């Protein structure tokens, strides 16, 4: 078992929900598509190193707390990481208890990094109450998976997301769930958008996927 897989098991046993990738390009794409409480990056990754991932995210004003893991422990390497926008830096080898303690510390500060609401058009999505609200004054409570699917759309409105992409980002690439679970959750979200009177809808783009956009009529 490699380090990423071992840490995934460790964090899941400590009641964290984890997305795991094995190269820097995937890490960058995941961080852009989803809203995370914290990100852990290894500096030495294929396709794109952790420092470059960090620099790109900070250049795009992504303020998610980011911890760097690396075998490099020289002072210059730590300075490079912090100058690029890292919130913490842990050289390998390390004790998992120390990693957990540091992650919990940056999570306690997450309120200063992320907005409390995601907004698009007449919609607001609350991460605190898992509630989707409309300027009509109506709101709907979302299930855990419904919230994750809606969050994905709200993070990239007017962008076509394939069913496979939604499946991978919400349920995970190794999930036993069937692809029709995506269709079911989108159907439920459509009903809730209609129930709260939103002008926003999730439209099917035949052969490509789904898109969240505001109706102009």
What does pLDDT average to over the chain? 84
**Over 90: is that where the pLDDT of 192 sits?**
yes
Helix (H/G/I), strand (E/B), else coil: 209: strand
Structure tokens at 205: 């783009």
Which pLDDT score, from 0 to 100, does residue 115 have?
Answer: 55
> Can you list the domains of the chain with their CATH numbers?
3-112 (3.40.50.2300), 118-214 (1.10.10.10)
Single pTM value for the model: 0.52
Q: Are strands 123-126 and 118-120 parallel, antiparallel or unpaired?
A: antiparallel
pLDDT per residue as tens digits for the range 22-71:
888 999 988 887 778 889 998 888 899 888 898 888 887 777 888 888 77
* Nearest residue to 51 via CA among 28, 22, 18, 21: 28
| Separation of alpha carbons 30 and 62, rounded Å | 12
The single-letter DSSP state of residue 195 is: H
Residues β-bridged to residue 125? 118, 132
| Separation of alpha carbons 212 and 113, rounded Å | 25
DSSP 114-177: S-S-EEETTEEEETTTTEEEETTS-EEE--HHHHHHHHHHHHSTT--B-HHHHIIIII-TT---
Burial class (CB in 10 A: 0-12, 13-18, 19+), 209: middle
CB 128: neighbour CB atoms within 10 A? 7
């Amino acid at each position: 078992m490699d380090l990423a897989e071992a840490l995934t098991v460790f964090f899941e046993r400590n009641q964290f929900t984890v997305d795991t990738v094995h190269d820097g390009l995937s890490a960058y794409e995941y961080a852009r598509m989803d809203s995370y409480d914290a990100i852990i990056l290894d500096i030495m990754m294929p396709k794109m190193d952790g420092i470059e991932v960090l620099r790109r995210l900070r250049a795009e004003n992504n303020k998610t707390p980011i911890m760097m893991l690396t075998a490099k422990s020289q002072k210059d390497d730590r300075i490079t990481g912090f100058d690029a926008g890292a919130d913490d830096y842990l050289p390998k080898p390390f004790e998992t208890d120390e990693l957990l303690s540091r992650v919990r510390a940056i999570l306690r500060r997450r309120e200063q990094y992320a907005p409390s609401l995601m907004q698009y058009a007449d919609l607001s999505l609350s991460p605190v109450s898992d509630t989707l609200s409309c300027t009509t004054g109506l709101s709907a409570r979302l299930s855990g998976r419904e919230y994750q699917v809606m969050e994905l759309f709200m993070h990239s409105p007017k962008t076509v997301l394939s069913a496979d992409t939604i499946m991978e980002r919400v349920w995970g690439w190794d999930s036993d769930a069937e692809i029709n679970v995506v269709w079911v959750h989108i159907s439920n979200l459509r009903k809730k958008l209609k129930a709260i009177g939103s002008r926003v809808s999730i439209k099917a783009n035949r052969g490509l996927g789904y898109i969240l956009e505001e109706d102009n009529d």
